[in-house]
Structure formats: C-alpha cells, structure tokens
Amino acid sequence: GENVEQHPSTLSVQEGDSAVIKCTYSDSASNYFPWYKQELGKGPQLIIDIRSNVGEKKDQRIAVTLNKTAKHFSLHITETQPEDSAVYFCAASKGSTLGRLYFGRGTQLTVWP
Amino acid sequence: EAQVTQNPRYLITVTGKKLTVTCSQNMNHEYMSWYRQDPGLGLRQIYYSMNVEATDKGDVPEGYKVSRKEKRNFPLILESPSPNQTSLYFCASGQGRHQPQHFGDGTRLSIL
C-alpha cells in the first residue's frame, strides 16, 4: 500500500508569519493529494487539493506544491492568523485503488497572536 | 444544508455488546467511507463504498462490518466490540474518485 509521512507533528508560529507542512509518499502511482484541516471537535475539512499533472496550486493564503520526482508535497500558509490554528492532515490516493485514501499523522499548528 | 450526519456522537458501552453507528449524507454522493482517528496515528480507513451494494476493505477492517443498501446510508457495525476499538470515528462521503470528501463531526466510542 501507500505510506504517507508528515512533518512536523507540531508547529508554532507567530501571527503573520508563514507556516510550512511537508509530506512524503511512497507509491509513485499516487496522483491525488488533498489537504484537510481539523478544528477541535469537528471533522476534517478539505482546504486544498492538487493532482499530479500540476506542480503548484494556490488559493488566497494557502498554497500546495508537488514534487513528483522526489515524491513529496507541501502546504504553505502565508500571513497566518489565530483562526488557522488546527490539526492539518495530508493524504494521497491513486487511481488504481479506487476509494483508498491514505492520511499522514497530522500536524498541530498553533498561531500565537 | 449539505451534510454528513453521524449518530450517536458519543457512546460508552461494554465489551461484546453489538453496536451500530449510523451515517447519512444528503448530497447524493456515490462514495462513502469510514475512518478511525487515534492519537499519533492520524486517520485510518476502515471500509469504503463506491456505490450501493459495493463495499471494500481499507487499512483496518478487522472487527468491523458495513453495509450499503441505500445510497445515502452507510452504517458501521461492531458485532463484538473490544477495548482496542475505543476511538474517534468519522464517516465521509464524496462524489467519487479524486473528489473532495465531506466528513461528519465524528462519533467517540469508548468500549470498557
């Protein structure tokens, strides 16, 4: 199967700074990489995703980059705000195993005002 | 409002007493899935369903059963719960492969 590793497990930044979370995957056939944000007491919510035919995708303060050769992808949050504080999960899936989604172990992001 | 609804939200029960966690979605999604979340382990997939009467195992299916008789419902069944199934469970639905999944707010199960 697929193995997704996520780092760091915790990340503290000052409000206004940038935050970067990195994930690696093991199966070169993986071609879909979503990122989810989980607030306390809630289910994960998709914040951005990227497919393997794209190297970078941006949505306002959030961006994701994908390096297929190195098999890693990263989440970048700029101008962080206290409401960005949450647990973030990366995930990977591939077309040959429809329905399977493999998650990283999560990053607890804390943004200090 | 588009949503995935899980019930119950919290349950404390004892070893061996069969229980069912219900999941319902109102978005006409074909795909549904169950995950468990444990500290330090992230989300692990238990079972998923690509459509009615089509279910398949995820990473950790042992001790669980599912059924998909209707498109909107995907119950998770623990026939003989054990303490190692104490966890936070999430149901999710999506339009299909490589589409965003919408998660419910979770069910916290404690099995004594």
Average pLDDT over residues A96-101: 70
DSSP letter (8 states) at residue A2: -
Going by their DSSP bridges, the two strands B31-38 and B87-94 should be labelled as antiparallel
- CB contacts of A93 in chain B (<8 Å) are 97-98
Residue for token digits 């339009």? B95
CA distances (Å), B74 to each of B20, B36, B51, in order? 10, 15, 10
The residue written with tokens 């019930």 in the block is B7
Interface test with A, best of B3, B30, B50, B98 (most A CBs within 10 A): B98
Q: Is the pLDDT of residue A61 over 90?
A: yes
Least CB–CB distance from A100: residue in B41, B43, B58: B58
- Measured in angstroms, the CA of B98 and the nearest CA of chain A are apart by 6
Kindly state the average pLDDT of the residues B25-46: 94
pLDDT at position B38 is 95
**Predicted local distance difference test score (pLDDT) of residue A96:** 58
CB within 8 Å: A45 and B33: no
Give A97's pLDDT tier (boundaries 50, 70, 90): low
